[in-house]
Amino acid sequence: MRFILFLPLLIFVGFIVGILGSLFGIGGGFLVAPILTFIFDYFGIPDGVKFAVGTSLLVVFINSIVSIFRHAKIKNINWKASIIIGVISLVFSYISGFLVVNFIDSAMLKKLFGIFLISNAIYMAKSHHIDKISDREDNLAHFIFCGVVAGFLSGLFGIGGGIVIIPILTFAKYPVKRSVAISVGVIPLTSIGGLISYLTANTNSYIYNIGYVSIPIALIMAIPIIYSSKLGIKINQKISSKHLRIMLSAILGTMGLIMLL
């Protein structure tokens, strides 16, 4: 019965994640994973953070498919770059997901996630130069590096990788909106690699789960994503790169502090 109290929160978070997925080209795992960690810890589920990360990856995967559909309608995806980064990240997200499931302590994972989010927030807040970038040519080395880092962190923290890809590409002087367009196509591949590791983990049955993935909770959060992703696309087409950067930085910093505290 206590779980029913969290239903409005899950639906609300799903709604916000749908907007963020289309707006920023991210899966929303940086928001889903901390909130699910709190809920699973509240219910006293062993390895709550691992359940949160695994369930988050399924939500991220669903959100990324919806975001691709929305962006493809306006021909706003760089498929060549997305596939290169995505295939590499799939392999590394599976590897890091396997490490989390079998070797990494949950408490340590929580702190690492908080530090990672805050570091990203600080970088995005200070990167004023990226607002003035118009465009640049594709660079294979940048895409390979993105794939390795995004994939490894995706499986580790239950994120889609967009929250890593966008800062890396903007640091390499890709415009923010172009970075978003690349990120949108990468996330399904990145998230599925780590998701496989969590689905195949040997766990007890706590929350109608398969491995470290709670299927009902993921589906509850995914339903509002279908509707809210439309709003994210509309905002993306109207907002400036500067405001995109500032909003993303604020959200990252807030969730990072929550994970640490």
| Average pLDDT by stretches of 10, the chain with 261 residues | 74 84 73 83 80 88 80 65 87 82 69 78 72 69 87 75 78 78 82 83 75 89 83 76 77 76 69
Residue 191: partners with Cβ closer than 8 Å, 6 or more residues away: 27, 29, 57, 60, 61, 64, 93, 154, 160, 161
Residues in the chain: 261
Closest CA to 17 of 53, 54, 61, 51: 61
Rounded-to-integer distance, Cα 153 and Cα 249, Å? 18
So where are the chain's domains? 11-260
Q: Amino acid letter at 192?
A: I
Distances (CA, A) of 257 to 114, 121, 239, 252: 6, 11, 26, 9
Q: Is the dihedral of CA 48, 50, 53, 56 positive or negative?
A: negative
pLDDT at 207: 64
Closest CA to 17 of 59, 70, 55, 76: 59
* Residue 208 C-alpha from the chain's centroid: 23
Rounded-to-integer distance, Cα 93 and Cα 96, Å? 5
pTM recorded for the entire structure? 0.76
